Structure 1
Amino acid sequence: MPEPILTLESVGLKNGAGWLFDGLSLTIDARDRLALIGRNGAGKSTLQKIIDGTIEADAGRRATASGLRIGRLEQDPPMAAFATLGDYALAGGAADHEVAALADQLGIDLARPATTASGGERRRAALVRVLAEAPDLLLLDEPTNHLDIAAIEWLESWLERSRCALVVISHDRAFLTSLTKNCLWLDRGTLRRAEVGFGGFDAWADAVAAEEERTAQRLDTKLRAEEHWLQRGVTARRKRNMGRLAKLMELRETRRSLDRGPTSARITTESSDPGSKILIDARGISLAFGPRAIVHDLSLRVRKGDRIGIIGPNGAGKSTLIKLLLGKLAPDSGEIRRSANLAPTIIDQHRQRLKGRTVREVLADGGEWLEVNGAKKHVAGYLKEYLFDAGILDAAAETLSGGEQSRLLLAREFATPSTLMVLDEPTNDLDMETLDLIEEVIGDYDGTVLLVSHDRAFLDRVVTMIVALDGNGKAEISVGGWSDWAARQQAATSAPKPKATPTPTPAPKKASKLSYKDARELADLPTRIEALNKDIATREAALADPDLYTKNPARFASLTAELDRLRETLETAELRWLELAELEEQLAG
């Protein structure tokens, strides 16, 4: 058994009149790779500050191994006191050559003035400083914010080779899945630990929630139902998630069929003329700033219902491409036609809409009702859909946390009538449950989405097409998600040269569709899942009777057992549906 390098025993921290957490214990050893997970406001960043000693706990004990070096990357490191990024990076105490070597690998100019540096440049400088310190325990708070995919992959590779222990807070599912071997779940002041990587977190969290439901059910049926939604929120809506993924796969296949040419079979859409659904038609457009090409000879059709992810290195011109498509900039050459019905909504990343306004004023201009997709909704009920407590309605919007402000803006903008939604790095500062919610809202949105993001898992779960900019004017268009694009890149760069063999052995023919048995099962599963949901709803309605346990304990016990069995059967059926649906998409190519 390895010796722990850091221990927290029964730690507590006061938060106003109450406690943010109390009785919290944690042991970290030198081999740990921990994902620290929890909702916005749960205290994840605060816990990291207690771990590194920046904050002293109000109760409990903190102990560290002799000579332990701890490095912590903050979400927004203070750099105002430093003239350049290099001054900040060197202030960590690492040798000049170590800082310079890391800066070169990350592609950051340390001579850049700290006051005018972009978010991505500041993040790189902060990483250079903390990594150059060579800590034994590394605490990372949203390390992928403002980084492009190439930088994220570089950081993953560096951390995989590193021998330090890790405690990582991140919304980036792919990053956490790649690096972590253990999970910490900070929830309502309680810290749970599981010896599984982030890839196993959902299954573990579901099991924890199910056990809490069973415990609460024995005490009070109403409490059980409340706990279920408080604990799992949007992630419990498996049926809707399944429908969203099915819709995404259908949209991707529709996009492929439109790009295959007139000889291919086409999926029937609501309009027999696909051209009538084109919102933006860019033909051979080019734009350069001096000698630097942003795009060169790009042709792109943006159709109704598209979810287009725009990726590329920082500074490649992603935001510029959006301005071109929306008409805020004119191309040097080429032509862009836009539908007369184009009504874009752009999420304000600088949060200007929130300044000096209450939550109610942001959402409903101070009123009680707002209109969402043609239906009137009470502002308090709409707040709950976005995981807010209705008690914050009259609070100043600027007093919310960064993640809560982002969530509030998204709630406001998705209630605004539009045919096109433009989202620039929408996943920054958001917790996992809010990301699930945003994925669901985008899936239900009737319009078109242009999305700039470096979050690979989010792109995989949301977009129908990737536009990849290389920073030198080239733009590659690929139907599918980020993984589809990355696989094509890998295949293109690693394709073996043909060998001159007189009698080559033919490779086994790859299946192009599901087997008859699997196809039949895939077709039957939605009906079966719907029936299971109805059976579950019937039993939940019966258990909602608060007097049932007293009047008929045998009936209560029977319904409870049936409900547990039906939920397990439903989960198995849904997982099988997802497995077959993904396989069908892969075989379709």
Structure 2
Amino acid sequence: MIQFKNLTLARGAKILVQGASFQLHPGHKVGLTGANGAGKSSIFAMLRGELHAESGDLDIPPHWVIAHVAQETPALNDAAVEFVLDGDVELRSIEQALAALENAPEAAGSGERIAELHMRLSEVEGYSAKARAAELLSGLGFTSADLTRPVSDFSGGWRVRLNLARALMCRSDLLLLDEPTNHLDLDAVIWLESWLKEYRGTLMLISHDRDFLDVVINHIAHIEQQKLTLYRGGYSDFERQRAEKLAQQQSLYERQQRDVAHLNKYIDRFRAQATKARQAQSRIKALERMELISAAHVDSPFGFSFRASISAPDPLLVLDDVDAGYNQLAVLKHIALTMRPGERLGLLGRNGAGKSTLVKLLAAELQPLNGKRVEGKDLNIGYFAQHQLEQLRLDESPLQHMLRLDPQTREQEHRNYLGGFDFRGDMVTSPCAPFSGGEKSRLALALLIWTRPNLLLLDEPTNHLDLEMRHALTLALQEYEGGVVLVSHDRALLRASCDKFVLVADGKVEAFDGDLEDYRDWLTQQRLKEKNVDLVAEVESDKSSNKQDRAQNKADRQARQAERRPLLKESEQIEASMAKWQAEKTELDSRMAKPEIYSAENKNALQDILKRQAELTKQIDQAEERWLEIHEILEAIPAIA
């Protein structure tokens, strides 16, 4: 087991944790929570042996294997499946030892050692290792064709998934996962939580996804005011315990009662409008549960609301028999969708099905291939997607961004508004270049909300946001009276914010009659169907001996090859450019990390670096967007057998 014995941990002069004492037993699954900067990542570094306690002891059994997700992935030529297999270090060492002995001239005299190695290979399930690695990759969204692609072929987000698969491949005693769902879509999140529930070792997890935490973990280790306290139960149990503690503080209690009364008012209004549809009832339950959640977050540093729209046409936006895609190849066909004020749609669908394509179509970033996209008069779209973070001016502060957006409003009013997003003190006037991903997301949301949109398009808005900010966003969305289209892997946000769900699958956009539990069942059925289809296809392929069929198949393959070839070539060119730009950006980032660059005499050099960083970020972002478009098109072209 792991023992914390009166442990104190510091970073420089700052004490992060003081006097922590508790035990983690094998099989414990622990969610590590606390405010940004409280010390969660430092505790992970200490468990990995990269940091040491100021005082006290941390005891970890010396024979334990510790697995974690690497932050960087080199552009290797290794096949994806081989890269994942490298996560099992003992397996690789056995394979290497066997290869050396079996190929040696004196192999005949090493029979006993070879037999021992084969026995150990069997014990570590080495003969099924490649199948297990393929299953991990499949669960995380990779196709069978991806297994043999070199690691260098994959973009940044997909390399993060490769690193995660490699960590899961390791037969570890302690698994450390820091925000593992950040780069996953909903079906991969659901698969991962099922895998982690079956994991037999000790798990420590940093996550801002409350549903994910509730399903996976059985303890919470919470950092607050330099105290690291272990709570028994899931995240919801922890929230209840913390709410009771905070409610005893009168000033916070009064604020809590105001929030709960406000939320109850909204629940009553929604209940009166709701149909008996299961998803509507599910949303009512989610909102009722938020009373308890609100109580646990009354001391949150975030508090904001959407500004009322100046006007709202009805309908806001109509898609009439629209086809959408890229380079005249439709990814989605015959879309019929009408958005009205107050409607809240959650988009469901597997990775690559076209959810982001639909959102781009709604945002007018993509024009219809066929059909009509009709905007209501005075439509004002607020579109949030991760690539929009790169449009922030890195050398400007949050206050400068607000003044640029609305120079007529008084500076103090902008400061007050930014305070609701926890931009306070010096942070309001500091350049946003060194901001974390979460801080940039908060700033982008603040800028979007200020524009008074009457239609919100939110594509994974919670990436990099902590639990407190996610809760504040959920509360703000309850007040918002415009239309909402939401893509998110955060099921708590989907449940509390969406009245209807739309399924994007098989090139279609259709209403989904069910809630998120029904969607989980749908995903399971899809995976079973795919396995059955693959099995039937194998059998049929073995039976097929008709020459005419073979000739037709050959013609089809040649046609698909001709269609795919220019796309694959463009994809390779993009990947080569991205690798070069990433290398240059990494070098600039290292220069930015040196204190001397911020001196007065280096002011011009700093400005040049910031400018080049922004250019590279934009180039990389545009390249990744095009790469994704290409691969959506490639997925729409039937695979070449």
Fold shared by both chains (TM-score > 0.5)? yes
AA in 1 matched with 2:429: D
AA in 1 matched with 2:499: T
Q: Does 1:482 align with 2:516?
A: yes
Q: Does 1:357 align with 2:400?
A: no
SS at match of 2:433: helix
Shift of the 63–80 alpha-carbon distance from structure 1 to 2, 3 Å rule, reads: same
Residues of 1 paired with 2:408 and 2:241: CA distance?
39
The equivalences for 1:71-110 within 5 A come to: 71-73=67-69, 77-80=71-74, 82-83=76-77, 85-86=80-81, 88-94=83-89, 95=91, 97=130, 98-108=132-142, 109-110=146-147
Shift of the 115–476 alpha-carbon distance from structure 1 to 2, 3 Å rule, reads: same
2:226 to 176, 189, 204: 189
> CA-to-partner distance for each residue in 1:166-225, whole Å, 9 max, x for gaps?
1111122221111111111112321122111123122111123235x2xxxxxxxxxx63
AA in 1 matched with 2:87: G
Tell me what 1:160 maps to: 197
Tell me what 2:165 maps to: 128
Residues of 2 paired with 1:6 and 1:191: CA distance?
15
> CA-to-partner distance for each residue in 1:149-175, whole Å, 9 max, x for gaps?
221221122122221121111122221
By percentage of residues, which structure has more helix? 2
CA contact (8 A) 2:396 2:432 kept: yes
1:241 to 259, 263, 284: 263
1:443 to 457, 478, 490: 478
Tell me what 2:492 maps to: 457
**Alpha-carbon deviation of 1:292?**
7.1
Q: CA RMSD in A?
A: 3.5
SS at match of 2:44: helix
Tell me what 1:62 maps to: 58
Residues of 1 paired with 2:48 and 2:270: CA distance?
43
**Which consecutive residues of structure 1, in runs of 5 or more, have no partner in the other structure?**
214-223, 257-274, 495-589
Q: Does 1:302 align with 2:339?
A: yes
Residues of 1 paired with 2:29 and 2:372: CA distance?
51
Residues of 2 paired with 1:359 and 1:16: CA distance?
28
Q: Does 1:47 align with 2:86?
A: no
CA contact (8 A) 1:69 1:135 kept: yes
**Alpha-carbon deviation of 1:409?**
1.8
Q: Does 1:380 align with 2:399?
A: no
Shift of the 297–81 alpha-carbon distance from structure 1 to 2, 3 Å rule, reads: closer
> CA-to-partner distance for each residue in 1:557-589, whole Å, 9 max, x for gaps?
xxxxxxxxxxxxxxxxxxxxxxxxxxxxxxxxx
AA in 1 matched with 2:365: K
AA in 1 matched with 2:472: L
Residues of 2 paired with 1:399 and 1:314: CA distance?
31
Shift of the 210–443 alpha-carbon distance from structure 1 to 2, 3 Å rule, reads: closer
AA in 1 matched with 2:76: F
**Which consecutive residues of structure 2, in runs of 5 or more, have no partner in the other structure?**
92-128, 279-311, 529-641
CA contact (8 A) 2:359 2:459 kept: no
Tell me what 2:502 maps to: 467
Which range moved further: 475-484 or 300-309?
475-484
AA in 2 matched with 1:165: T
SS at match of 1:397: coil
Residues of 2 paired with 1:113 and 1:474: CA distance?
32
> CA-to-partner distance for each residue in 1:476-522, whole Å, 9 max, x for gaps?
2137863575589999999xxxxxxxxxxxxxxxxxxxxxxxxxxxx
Q: Does 1:333 align with 2:328?
A: no
SS at match of 1:278: coil
Shift of the 132–358 alpha-carbon distance from structure 1 to 2, 3 Å rule, reads: same
Residues of 1 paired with 2:405 and 2:378: CA distance?
29
> CA-to-partner distance for each residue in 1:275-326, whole Å, 9 max, x for gaps?
9611111122223558975222221111112222222222211111122223
> CA-to-partner distance for each residue in 1:339-390, whole Å, 9 max, x for gaps?
121111222523221411112112334999848xxxx972332233223433
Residues of 1 paired with 2:61 and 2:257: CA distance?
39
Tell me what 2:458 maps to: 423
Residues of 2 paired with 1:247 and 1:122: CA distance?
45
CA contact (8 A) 1:138 1:167 kept: yes
Tell me what 2:32 maps to: 36
> CA-to-partner distance for each residue in 1:396-425, whole Å, 9 max, x for gaps?
223333222212221221112222222211
TM-score (norm 2): 0.63
Residues of 2 paired with 1:276 and 1:157: CA distance?
44
AA in 1 matched with 2:17: F
SS at match of 1:103: helix
Identity %, equivalent residues: 30
CA contact (8 A) 2:140 2:188 kept: yes
Residues of 1 paired with 2:69 and 2:438: CA distance?
18
Residues of 2 paired with 1:59 and 1:456: CA distance?
40
Residues of 1 paired with 2:75 and 2:223: CA distance?
33
Tell me what 1:262 maps to: none
The equivalences for 1:553-564 within 5 A come to: none
Residues of 2 paired with 1:133 and 1:280: CA distance?
49
Tell me what 2:602 maps to: none
Residues of 1 paired with 2:48 and 2:213: CA distance?
21
TM-score (norm 1): 0.68
Residue correspondences, number: 450
Tell me what 2:296 maps to: none
SS at match of 2:392: helix
**Alpha-carbon deviation of 1:438?**
0.5
SS at match of 2:176: strand
AA in 1 matched with 2:431: A
SS at match of 2:368: coil
Tell me what 1:217 maps to: none
Tell me what 1:587 maps to: none
Shift of the 50–489 alpha-carbon distance from structure 1 to 2, 3 Å rule, reads: closer
Residues of 2 paired with 1:368 and 1:79: CA distance?
43
> CA-to-partner distance for each residue in 1:126-151, whole Å, 9 max, x for gaps?
22101110211111111112212221
CA contact (8 A) 2:324 2:331 kept: yes
The equivalences for 1:199-348 within 5 A come to: 199-211=236-248, 213=249, 225=251, 228=252, 237-249=259-271, 253=275, 277-288=314-325, 293-347=330-384
CA contact (8 A) 2:345 2:486 kept: yes
Shift of the 302–368 alpha-carbon distance from structure 1 to 2, 3 Å rule, reads: closer
SS at match of 2:440: helix
Shift of the 480–278 alpha-carbon distance from structure 1 to 2, 3 Å rule, reads: farther
> CA-to-partner distance for each residue in 1:422-455, whole Å, 9 max, x for gaps?
2211111111111110012222223222221122
Shift of the 331–439 alpha-carbon distance from structure 1 to 2, 3 Å rule, reads: same
Residues of 2 paired with 1:24 and 1:362: CA distance?
42
Residues of 1 paired with 2:317 and 2:74: CA distance?
43
**Alpha-carbon deviation of 1:233?**
8.7
CA contact (8 A) 1:7 1:62 kept: yes
Which range moved further: 297-306 or 240-249?
240-249
**Alpha-carbon deviation of 1:459?**
0.2
